[in-house]
């Protein structure tokens, strides 16, 4: 896989992940892993981290 293709792919994946967490916060969707209810506050760091990774991936792809 070429470097630019890889960066584009992972950037799109991280954008989807960040968007999913943002939608979870906006619409107050619940999330469950097995029997554990994932607290809403865990989506905030996920939005930030996935957003930063997506941004840097797209930025590196332009170089």
Distance CA 10, CA 52 (A): 12
Helix (H), strand (E) at residue 37: strand 36-37
Q: Between the CA of residue 58 and those of 9, 22, 33, what are the distances in Å?
A: 10, 19, 30
Domain boundaries, the chain: 3-62
Tokens 């992940």 sit at which residue? 17
Q: Is 45 helix (H, G, I), strand (E, B) or coil?
A: helix
The pLDDT tens digits for 20-53 are 999 999 999 999 999 999 999 999 999 999 999 9
The model's confidence at residue 63, banded by pLDDT at 50, 70 and 90, is confident
The model's confidence at residue 1, banded by pLDDT at 50, 70 and 90, is confident
pTM of the shown model: 0.90
């Amino acid at each position: 896989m070429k470097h630019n293709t890889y960066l584009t792919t992972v950037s799109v994946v991280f954008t989807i992940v960040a968007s999913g967490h943002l939608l979870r916060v906006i619409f107050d969707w619940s999330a469950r892993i097995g029997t554990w209810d994932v607290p809403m506050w865990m989506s905030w760091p996920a939005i930030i981290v996935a957003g930063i990774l997506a941004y840097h991936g797209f930025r590196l792809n332009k170089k």
